[in-house]
Amino acid sequence: MPTTSDFERMLRGVSLRVTRPRVAVLSAVHDHPHADTDSIIGAVREHLGKVSHQAVYDVLGALTAAGLVRRIQPRGTVARYESRVGDNHHHAVCRSCGAIADVDCVVGTAPCLTASDDSGFVIDEAEVIFWGLCRDCSTRSVSERTVSSRKDSHV
């Protein structure tokens, strides 16, 4: 778990001035992987007290541009932020509750990770999002189907 001095070092390492809001936002992203902006604002306010939405948005933008955090936005969801940067990991998203989990680099042939035609791009990242049900939702779904089928069989 990184400390305040680690966060300060990270900020200096990318030539960002060390400020209390930047340290607080960086800490919140590290403490709450895949958190949305409102959750980050809440965590920062618990630590700093009053801070504006705009200040947190600005810090998130600066941290993302500097490569200290990564912004992801799976289709149909709000933007989320994570501190796991510098690798080409992917995500699994629950269709029911919206939970997000990291997935290390994919293997196999599908989905393909090498573009058949790069259209002149120098590709340095492939973003893959796996959609499905998390363990809790899939267990609940099986339970609900079992209860439903029992009700149907008694009719």
Does residue 109 or residue 61 have the better pLDDT? 61
Q: Is the pLDDT of residue 149 over 60?
A: no
- 11: which residues sit within 8 A by CB, 6+ positions away? 17, 18, 22, 23, 26, 68
pLDDT tens-digit readout, 27-57: 999 999 999 999 999 999 999 999 999 999 9
Task: Share the mean pLDDT of the chain.
Answer: 87
Do 129 and 90 contact (CB within 8 A), yes or no? yes
Do 81 and 70 contact (CB within 8 A), yes or no? yes
pLDDT reported for residue 4: 94
C-alpha triplet 81, 83, 89: angle, nearest 5° = 90
pLDDT tens-digit readout, 52-79: 999 999 999 999 999 999 999 998 889 9
Q: Which two tokens stand for residue 122?
A: 């120098």
pLDDT reported for residue 14: 97
